[in-house]
Chain A
Amino acid sequence: MFAPAPFLLKDTSVSQVMTQVCIALVPGIAAYAWLVGPAILVQLVIATLAALLAETAMLRIQKKPLTIFLSDGSAVVTAWLIALTFPPLAPWWLVVIGTLFAIVVAKHLYGGLGQNPFNPAMVAFAVCIVSFPALMSQWPSVGLQLPLLDQINVILGLAPRVDALSSATPLDAMKTALKLGEGTQDVPALLANQDIYGNFAGRGWEWVAIGYLLGGLWMWQRKLITWHVPVSFIGAMTLLSGGLWLVNPAQYASPLFHLLSGGAMLGAFFIATDPVSGCTTPRGKLIFGAGAGLLAYIIRVFGGYPDGVAFAVLLMNLCAPVIDLLTQPRIFGMKNAGKGDKA
């Protein structure tokens, strides 16, 4: 986009891009399904159906053509991201409310595909964690292997929600232990003694994060995303968490722990790289990613919520138009950046 001609032409439609994003999510989903069982696949189906229904209804109201917009796959990607960020055994209506809010309010009320200032999936997450904080923080404990039918019963609300379904995430457990311990707990001991932690981060969850990383690298290799956002996101998070870790390794977990915990990898490759709600200039993308990474770390470590990626991305979405405006590349033949020939 910022190089002189000649260009290679490639016929890429929205639906092709969205299909490839879904394929890139598969390694992460596979690791997720291996970790918590088939519940996540049920949630993916629920979210997809809700998203397609909401999309159909909104298109009908606006009298837009159904087939073109329904088959572009953007609603499916939003639905999958919602299902992957919500707790896998969350009740079905929670996922449905999140998805409806994402498609109806965050996407269509702002003008539909390509017009939304906020990432719809992250709006869904923020709305639900603000409105239903208890349900959104109940994650199944590690090693809990319920059969498919039991998992479906829990999701549909037919079976009671037992204690084993309501653990904190490894990230949340670490924060709570450190806060309650008031300096008596230290990170290395927590990592070594509690069986929710594996080799680098949360047991099992670290492999899900690596699955997302692999999918993200594949998207980069396919040129679906550029390197700017993931690199600056991961770099900024590594710098901040690494700095604090070097100063006080007893109270701050290592950068590797933070990168492989919570939504960091999903956020860096799949959410902050959203071309609609993010920045478009190369320098803007670097600032966007770095800001999201820093905010995500600050919110998850010092804030009150279990993870900060959703709020970090939404806050940076707010800044994206200004960042784009201030980082316009120099126009060929002009002295000043972005001034055009108005001078």
Chain B
Amino acid sequence: MITREEFRSIAGNGIWKQNTSIAQILGLCPLLAVTTNAVNGIMLSLATILVMALSNVAVASLRNLIPHEIRIPVFILIVAALVTVVDLLFNANLHELYLVLGIFIPLIVTNCIVLARVEAFAAKNPPLQSTLDGVFMGVGMLWTLALLGGMRELLGSGTLFGGIDMVFPSLQPIQLLPESYPGFLLALLPPGAFILLGCMIAWKNWMDARAAERAKLKPPAPVAAAGCH
């Protein structure tokens, strides 16, 4: 079914190496608009994970039946159908959050991450691997959006997990900074998202450069080739 190495490679690619937000820099439109707090970022990522897992498994199962020439319209049809399901789910069960996330839930269908994974991975790999790829790509998006949303929220209004009561009515946002904190409005505006995203990308590149330097010092370990491309 799936080897340990394959699983590792898929998970590592999704969470760190090919992270959608800080390595592939895809899907910036929802990223900038939605991450004004951590909860919104997490919930949009969860919706995207659902869509990506389902669309990847659907496309992977049908990959031998879809004519190559019209594959993109077929992919989009599949993704659109799944997004409609998720959209209705959010509307029915998390209505207040649905109003906050607004247009960005239906817009998952145009999110280049979803189509990118379907085209680059699911169209060429079996269903199990494709499902995992969708989930881990989504998890990579989840932690970056949560981190970005949390930083913007903390700098912008001094709270953490604002709007959590829309998901779990019993929980309240955490006021981390004193009430008198004036709020750094720039962090909540799109330029603030760009600046902080830039810092996160710089941080990833720095970590990678450091890891590469360490690997150079160590004797090379036997490399297991488990490419997903």
| Complex contacts, B183 vs chain A, CB 8 Å | 131
Having A109-B198, A131-B184, one finds 14 other A-B pairs with CB under 8 Å, namely A97-B184, A105-B195, A127-B186, A130-B185, A130-B186, A130-B189, A131-B183, A131-B185, A131-B186, A131-B187, A132-B182, A132-B185, A133-B185, A135-B182
Chain B residues 169-197 with CB under 8 Å of chain A are: 182-187, 189, 195
Q: How far is the CA of A217 from the CA of B124 in the complex (A)?
A: 70
Cβ contacts A to B, 11 pairs, < 8 Å: A97-B184, A130-B185, A130-B186, A130-B189, A131-B183, A131-B184, A131-B186, A131-B187, A132-B182, A132-B185, A133-B185
B contacts with A: majority SS? helix
Which residues of B line the A interface, CB within 8 A?
182-187, 189, 195, 198
Q: How far is the CA of A135 from the CA of B89 in the complex (A)?
A: 44
Chain A residues 83-97 with CB under 8 Å of chain B are: 97
Q: How far is the CA of A236 from the CA of B164 in the complex (A)?
A: 53
Q: How far is the CA of A133 from the CA of B185 in the complex (A)?
A: 9
B158 to chain A, nearest CB (A): 13
Tell me the number of A-to-B contacts counted with CB atoms below 8 Å.
Answer: 16
Q: How far is the CA of A109 from the CA of B201 in the complex (A)?
A: 13
Interface size on A, residues (CB 8 A): 9
Q: How far is the CA of A127 from the CA of B194 in the complex (A)?
A: 14
A contacts with B: majority SS? helix
| Complex contacts, A131 vs chain B, CB 8 Å | 183-187
Q: How far is the CA of A241 from the CA of B183 in the complex (A)?
A: 37
Q: How far is the CA of A38 from the CA of B184 in the complex (A)?
A: 28
Chain A residues 127-142 with CB under 8 Å of chain B are: 127, 130-133, 135
A327 to chain B, nearest CB (A): 29
| Complex contacts, A109 vs chain B, CB 8 Å | 198
Which B residue sits closest to A135, measured CB to CB? B182
Q: How far is the CA of A97 from the CA of B185 in the complex (A)?
A: 13
Give the 4 A-B CB pairs with smallest separation, nearest first: A131-B185, A131-B186, A131-B184, A127-B186
Q: How far is the CA of A132 from the CA of B195 in the complex (A)?
A: 18
Q: How far is the CA of A280 from the CA of B185 in the complex (A)?
A: 35
| Complex contacts, A127 vs chain B, CB 8 Å | 186
Q: How far is the CA of A135 from the CA of B182 in the complex (A)?
A: 10
| Complex contacts, B185 vs chain A, CB 8 Å | 130-133
A318 to chain B, nearest CB (A): 13
B194 to chain A, nearest CB (A): 11
Q: How far is the CA of A127 from the CA of B198 in the complex (A)?
A: 17
| Complex contacts, A133 vs chain B, CB 8 Å | 185
Which A residue sits closest to B199, measured CB to CB? A109
Q: How far is the CA of A86 from the CA of B184 in the complex (A)?
A: 17
| Complex contacts, B195 vs chain A, CB 8 Å | 105
Q: How far is the CA of A132 from the CA of B184 in the complex (A)?
A: 7
Q: How far is the CA of A97 from the CA of B183 in the complex (A)?
A: 12
Chain A residues 27-77 with CB under 8 Å of chain B are: none
What 1/0 mask marks residues of chain A from 121 to 160 whose CB sits below 8 Å from any chain B CB? 0000001001111010000000000000000000000000
Which B residue sits closest to A133, measured CB to CB? B185
Q: How far is the CA of A132 from the CA of B189 in the complex (A)?
A: 13
Which A residue sits closest to B187, measured CB to CB? A131
Q: How far is the CA of A133 from the CA of B183 in the complex (A)?
A: 11
Which B residue sits closest to A97, measured CB to CB? B184
A52 to chain B, nearest CB (A): 23
Which A residue sits closest to B191, measured CB to CB? A130
Which A residue sits closest to B185, measured CB to CB? A131
A338 to chain B, nearest CB (A): 32
B191 to chain A, nearest CB (A): 8
